[in-house]
Structure 1
């Protein structure tokens, strides 16, 4: 059975896909878990280190702000004034307003601080923006009682009713005593608030899996941010309690789970405030994409196996059947029966692969030899026409990009009239250039195209460009190939401005015997002897491959020379005159052909 080519192909395809699937499964599921685990331990701890540095920075700014207010002379003066019973109401009010402005100015230097308040035991509350209120209800707030009785300085995320005028969002607060270091003995408490989202948003961008959660816990292992789902992880909370008393500062712990496999706990302790970063992720969540990939691979492998069997049958049928008929035909040729061999060959259109090529070559060998000369001549003409079209398509976009940049600059400068003029001229040029079927045009059409291009140059360079066009009468009906003057003018303008602050370009069209002379003169830096030899060579030989693949800035001139050489052959002539530092004259000599 395996001696036939068809059976071998089918067996090879099936074994190839089965072997690939088995190897891929072993490599993927035996190595991926260890890679992901190692990545988790390094990447997760690295992300927590970065976030821990962010928390330290935020705490430092809050402490700096609190220290600045605590140690300021104005704060001590305000505290003494509030304790002075002989101070009049007006003086007391003025002192409160002055101190409120100080709080406003100081808080403006700390972008992290959203609001700040000072609370006195007599019920006075002073905030930013001239806020002075007598309301003793704050004494019933849990954060105030915990600070006075238990010296708890950090308040987890909560809605502060006093700061709702600034934003109605949860805040995290730092409490500091004023006038005394002991919270229970201080008569004034400062409450510095920052938005909970300031710390929560960066934390939400740290992910261990698809549905993981990372919590910021304070020294009492309570969530500092608006993360109420922490209480749902009851099993992991006990493990967090054990880790909080250990000396290890960070790590990854794997605990057995119930439904989703192992549970993974990643933690890091923050040294400044004894806070902790704790992340929970299940093994099923961590490897969820891996399991989906496994199922997709299995499904895809089954589909590929079925497709491979079908392709193997189709390929074997398409190869073995024509080969069998070709062998039979060769046997008839061996006996000299060419008619019988031709009958047994497959139809010329039925096989479109290497076997079909061999069969077609066998059938048409004599006929191809007979028509070789005629076919070669036709192919040469077609190739020459295709080369000319390629060069023509290359020159069309050459000026378009500069014109589009000019239109963009004019639009930004709000030069509406100039923009409209450039758009109209560009539209005429594009309408003319899209006539790809017209390789040969009247000279007057080429000059009209040049005048539209000159109008764009006048807008672009203004009085710095001095461009003249001299045309001999009676030549408008002569025909030339299109797009040969505009690239020469573009090069002349470019090199003239590169050499001088003003460009002088003179274009002349005249008749000389049976030829038309098209010359473009400029005041550029001139052409070196080496470049002149290169231009002469391009005029003598149409170096098509070099021009089409060239990325040099002289592509326009080379394109013109190549197209003239392809179309006019030996009748085309080029004359270049150049004086270093003074300018260059390029002259194209074309035979006169009437329309």
Structure 2
């Protein structure tokens, strides 16, 4: 214990007696630690940048490669269709039902000629063609080694599977593994009766040039998997388990990626065959470059640390004496407050530094003011841009509905829907004022509801109750329609049965809410929007109310739509904390949004 105490005192003793030693130690630490941190961050940022670049590049490559592969499979499918629609095939199928052998022989010869022409025209990737007719049991075979017709007493295995599972087409590997068979059923047009099947045998090598768009390296693997999770074709040696492939195949048609252990797995769907394109990239591909950067960083960091220690020692030794005076003169400087301590008037280097720091503080203050103004303008522009948006899904559904109405509804009904959509566009693209009248907001909301009522018709019950004396009250633009749209998306959309939505505008002296902004006191206008949707759970409702209580006039512009937080924030920003938005909800019962704003009454007095 005494030995440790002596060592401790021996280490601290030089720093207790000399401010110069303390300054040397501090400067060394301050110089070295940032260099180490920057080096570590550089390595990590380099790895993250490479990871982001790798993910972005491969997601894009997977998208385009899937499109090109889909086009190739579509071309192969077109080859099969060219046989299916060939008049000679229809003639032969019809001749099977006749007794004349001469007509059958002639049609049969025509089919052979058509298959031969197709085979030789696509010889660079087609290795064989088969045609099986179920009624006669005849199998036409055309490849490089044979051209024959056989009569079979049983249905061949691939076609038997195709017929039993009632599939239109399927893809399977050849026994050699270097080719695949695209098999499609032949059905009678009138009643979908299965007449037979046709097979196109294709070399996998025809897809290699397209798969090269993925830039597979030696340690990377590209896989094409079938709809049932079977690996049909593989470039590279890395394998995925059958469970992993099946999970990816069943994961949907959207492109994506995921990290599985020490690998990144990218995937996308190849239409129209519903195959899965999978690419496996080991994590080492990213780490190798990061390690090279780390080695360079360690060498540079070591040299920089040594130089920093040397410079710190020299500077500390030479500047220890005047540093105290400089610190005293800096006590009066403040980069935030306008008032500064008067300059000491020194003429030496310390005085020069003092003057420069004083001038710099003024420039920084001006810069802070400029940055604040720029950020404020940016937030205002973002809010206006957000206000000018119409939900693209709502627009798409509306346009599709109008297209249907043009064929099924009266012109007047179609015109009313088009007029409502036009009025909505006119309202949002017009030069946006900060405030609109309550009448204008209600008209915009009603145009939205005209479209929604046309979409959902008898399922939606909508009621509007308004005290018309309050219609000239002012309200932030785009306040009501986003809340009604929010009710459809989060409340009614998941509710089975009939939907009910009501809006009530009334004069109120006090509007109280259990949460959100608390008590919204003062005479004014209360707007209540209620629905019978699924409601909000207690925990989620608490979180929403907490967010609304923290709005405090902030302009929130995150996301693609105007949310409750944005509405609450703008209400408080325009009218103060006495006004705002409150929410009340119960699971299985519905949700009620209460908005409290100042009022302007026509034909009477409304004190606020």
Q: TM-score, normalised by structure 2?
A: 0.38
Greater Rg by CA: 1
TM-score by length of 1: 0.39
Which has the larger helix fraction?
Answer: 1
